[in-house]
Amino acid sequence: MSMKAILVSLFLLGAAPDGNAPALPPDALAAPPVADDSPTAWACTIDTLRAGKECVFEADLSTGRPDDSQDTANKKILQDAARALCSEAVGTMREGRPDTKLTALCERRFTTAVDQCGLDGTASVIDAKGRFAPGARACYRALSSVLQEVQLMATVASPCCECAARAGCPGTGDRCYADVSQQIAPPATLACLNDRCADACSMVLPSVSSGSRSAPTARERDRSSRSGSASL
């Protein structure tokens, strides 16, 4: 038997129906499809928000007329989750060690972001299966941005700002977390960090470990300018 004939035989044998398989009822192919509307692994939920994962807005929610009570309920359901999400965002980056000031900062920013989550009361922001509504894209992005910023602050700024607060340095609190996470600081703050918090801040403000001075005075700039002119 040729190779072509063998392949054809194997194909026909593989395609042959199992004699023991039950026969399909005559109307099986005409039956309406059964949809599985349970959340998929890609659905945008509180869990994907917490983890910072990419997701899909797959909730199927009908919209209606604006309703103030629904708008308020939408904001409240997410505001109620703020403390847990903020505590987790900070604690995860700090290996379980809390930072109450940074957690409070996160909650305040979360409150501001939640203002985008009312959807004017036209639909629920989260459906009964925990999925964010398609109309909540801007809300979800705003909340995600807050958590990402706080995670960065917890990683790079938290130890330095905790030390700055204990040492009584200027520019502490919210400003410290915002500045240090961007690796900037006012001269007075930088001088204090250099003097009192060099160990805690050296990784995020390299100029601290090198003993950087504050900005030059007007007299020093003028002297430098004259010296430069004379060398020409």
Beta partners for residue 56, in sequence order: 43
Query: What is the tally of structural domains in the chain?
Result: 2
Beta partners for residue 43, in sequence order: 56
Higher pLDDT, 45 or 9: 45
Same structural domain, 139 and 164:
no
Residue range(s) defining the domain that contains residue 165: 157-214
Q: CB count, 10 Å around CB of 200? A: 20
99-127 pLDDT per residue, tens: 999 999 999 999 999 999 999 999 999 99
Instruction: Provide the pLDDT for residue 2.
Output: 59
Q: Percent of the chain having pLDDT more than 90? A: 60
Minimal CA–CA distance to 77: which of 34, 28, 136? 136
Tokens encoding 196? 């009192």
DSSP for 76-135, written as a single string = HHHHTTHHHHHHHHHHHHTTT---HHHHHHHHHHHHHHHGGGSGGGSS-SB-TTSPBPGG
Average pLDDT over residues 26-46: 70
Same structural domain, 204 and 138:
no
Say yes or no to pLDDT of 30 above 70. Answer: no
Residue finishing a domain among 154, 182, 204: 154
Same structural domain, 132 and 204:
no
Instruction: Provide the pLDDT for residue 112.
Output: 95
Higher pLDDT, 3 or 127: 127
Contact in structure between 86 and 106 (CB atoms under 8 Å): yes
Query: How far apart (Å, rounded) are the C-alpha atoms in residues 176 and 178?
Result: 5
85-97 pLDDT per residue, tens: 999 999 999 988 9
Higher pLDDT, 46 or 227: 46
Same structural domain, 171 and 130:
no
Contact in structure between 201 and 208 (CB atoms under 8 Å): yes
Same structural domain, 135 and 184:
no
The Cα-based distances of 15 to 7, 20, 167 in angstroms read 12, 14, 79
Q: How confident is the model at residue 21 (pLDDT cuts 50, 70, 90)?
A: low
Residue 126 lies in a domain: yes
> What angle do helix axes 82-93 and 100-114 make, rounded to 10 degrees?
140
Poorest-confidence range of 68-72, 165-169, 202-206? 202-206
Residue 21 lies in a domain: no
Residue finishing a domain among 118, 139, 154: 154
Query: How far apart (Å, rounded) are the C-alpha atoms in residues 71 and 136?
Result: 12
DSSP for the chain, written as a single string = --HHHHHHHHHHHHHSPPTTSPPPPTTTTTSPP----S--TTB--HHHHHHT---B--------S--HHHHHHHHHHHHTTHHHHHHHHHHHHTTT---HHHHHHHHHHHHHHHGGGSGGGSS-SB-TTSPBPGGGHHHHHHHHHHHHHHHHHHHHTHHHHHHHHHHT-SS-THHHHHHHHTT---HHHHHHHHHH-HHHHTTT-HHHHTT---PPPHHHHHHHHHHHHHT-
Residue finishing a domain among 129, 154, 179: 154
Residue 7 lies in a domain: no
Query: How far apart (Å, rounded) are the C-alpha atoms in residues 87 and 93?
Result: 10
Same structural domain, 90 and 147:
yes
Higher pLDDT, 227 or 63: 63
Instruction: Provide the pLDDT for residue 204.
Output: 83
200-215 pLDDT per residue, tens: 998 887 655 444 444 4
